[in-house]
Structure 1
Amino acid sequence: MTSDTGAAVRVERGLVYGPGGKQLDAYRPAQGSRPAPTVLLWHGIGPDERDILAPLAHTAAAHGLLVLVPDWRSDAADGGRAQLLESLAFVRGEAGGLGGDGESFVLAGWSAGAGAALGVALRPEDTGGRRPAAVVGVAGRYDLLARTTGSAPLADLAAGRDPGVPVHLVHGTRDTVLPPEHSRDLAQALRTAGRAVTLQESDTDHAGVIMTAYDPAADRCVPTADERAVAAGRLVAGVLAVACGAARPGHSL
């Protein structure tokens, strides 16, 4: 495990979070009250890519949040389900020891992680029996089977299931990997069912919404200083803070 401290955020890297030995990184305010509002943030389908969420996690932690970002492998035999659920159990049991709130936390995900996060709220009986305080879905798709539940969130909604918590969505209008219609369709389905939902769109693409750019040579997302991506990441970080009830003065949806 390694750690480093910036002006506003402390980072602990390589914390083992479950019996499978997978690791996560913890981003938290260098100073501030305890317990900090907690976010569990899942990456997308690329195996063990917690590092690509570092810019977003760092930005969100500067709002006073504890942000936990685990690795997980979509290419595991179960599609990553066991690792995702292990990270859930870790937050519930260990966030307090890291200065956060394990009793009430926000569950967030980007890309494939977004559907997995919403699945937990829709089917808590399949994922440990407790819902998060809110769900934040970033550039997700919701008509596919969630990695956590094996059921598509849109199908669960159509069958009358209730997420039971507010759902906040963010999507880039330039996203060609998972076009913004996916989040728009989910927002409409939630509104039709009378559920609490917000949707914000940013002028960026699938990678940009998490403050990164896709590097074809490396076949992965890398940090970027592109203005649209930076603005989009700040928007997502603000949404996470709002979902946690920790928005800074002047921030609004």
Structure 2
Amino acid sequence: MAPEMGMAGTAVETERGLVYGPSGKRLDVHRPAGATGAMPTVLLWHGIGPDERDILEPLARATAALGVLVLVPDWRSDAPDGGRSHLLESLAFAREEAGGLGGDGESLVLAGWSAGAGAALGVALRPEIADGRRPSAVVGLAGRYDLPARTTGTAPLDDLAAGKEPGVPVQLVHGTHDAVLDSQWSRDLAAALRAAGRPVALHEPETDHAGVIMTAYDPAANRCVPTTDEHAVRAGRMVAGVLAEAAGAGSVA
């Protein structure tokens, strides 16, 4: 767990493979090296690819360099329940154990990419699935919100139309060149939240579906991999700033 320099020039240390619940699934912890006191905390969920916590490491480390404890769990969308138990186990772990890892589980930002975005918003809309506790903010990255969330089984847009409210600020990021999930999905959600009088911010960097998490899609590997492509690095830094701002540790770059 030797510290390495993060994107912001701050040394970041990573602890990999902590078991987070009865399922035996694992998560990685990214934090500023040598930090003291309770840091703002972000729980960051990957998308539909099973057990892909590693693809979020570039973004997680860039966020940690801004003074944030970032927890990134594996989960499996192909589980019988669509990944619901894994996601909720990781949320319970983050709330209960963040303090011992240097963070603040009581003030927790819940964020997700792709399928993880709708899952994160679902917790805010239906907090009864998480012991009635909402996160302090939600950040959705390149999500689609008209499909059933993996956490709730209901579509966030349907929940909003039925009068449910997230009750916390929502930040959305969606690349303008996303050919996997069109950015219109995030625009539609932002419009629905504004119509309901809820606080929301929408950021649309010039990048694609993988670029918002500082990666590029590798067809040979059938997964996202770290990249130095300028558009992805620029977008990833911006997303790290969004996450840090949502957690109260920084501002949007």
**TM-score category, normalised to shorter length:** over 0.9
Moved over 2 A (4+): none
Partners of 2:4 and 2:217 in 1: CA distance: 26
**Is structure 2 residue 7 aligned with structure 1 residue 4?**
no
Q: Given residue 65 of structure 1, which amino acid in structure 2 is its aligned partner?
A: V
Match of 2:110 among 107, 118, 126: 107
1:227 corresponds in structure 2 to 230
**Residues 238 and 252 of structure 1: CA distance in aligned 2, closer, same or farther (over 3 Å):** closer
Question: What is the aligned length?
Answer: 248
Match of 1:125 among 106, 125, 128: 128
**Is structure 2 residue 17 aligned with structure 1 residue 14?**
yes
Partners of 1:31 and 1:180 in 2: CA distance: 38
2:8 corresponds in structure 1 to none
**Is structure 2 residue 145 aligned with structure 1 residue 147?**
no
2:241 corresponds in structure 1 to 238
| TM-score normalised by L of structure 1 | 0.96
Partners of 1:103 and 1:188 in 2: CA distance: 29
**Is structure 2 residue 216 aligned with structure 1 residue 209?**
no
Give the root-mean-square deviation of aligned CA atoms.
0.9
- Report the secondary structure of 1:119's partner residue: helix
Unaligned runs of 5+ in 1: none
1:218 corresponds in structure 2 to 221
Match of 1:53 among 56, 61, 72: 56
1:127–1:148 contact (8 Å) kept in structure 2: no
- Calculate percent identity across the aligned residue pairs: 74
Match of 1:69 among 72, 76, 80: 72
Match of 1:24 among 23, 27, 39: 27
Cα displacement (A) at 1:128: 2.5
Unaligned runs of 5+ in 2: 6-10
Cα displacement (A) at 1:72: 0.1
Cα displacement (A) at 1:129: 1.5
- Report the secondary structure of 1:221's partner residue: strand
- Report the secondary structure of 2:153's partner residue: coil
Cα displacement (A) at 1:126: 1.7
| TM-score normalised by L of structure 2 | 0.96
Cα displacement (A) at 1:127: 2.4
- Report the secondary structure of 2:144's partner residue: coil
**Is structure 2 residue 177 aligned with structure 1 residue 174?**
yes
2:118–2:144 contact (8 Å) kept in structure 1: yes
2:46–2:74 contact (8 Å) kept in structure 1: yes
Q: Given residue 45 of structure 2, which amino acid in structure 1 is its aligned partner?
A: W
1:17–1:24 contact (8 Å) kept in structure 2: yes
Cα displacement (A) at 1:4: 3.1
Cα displacement (A) at 1:252: 4.3
- Report the secondary structure of 1:74's partner residue: coil
Cα displacement (A) at 1:6: 1.2
Partners of 1:153 and 1:147 in 2: CA distance: 11
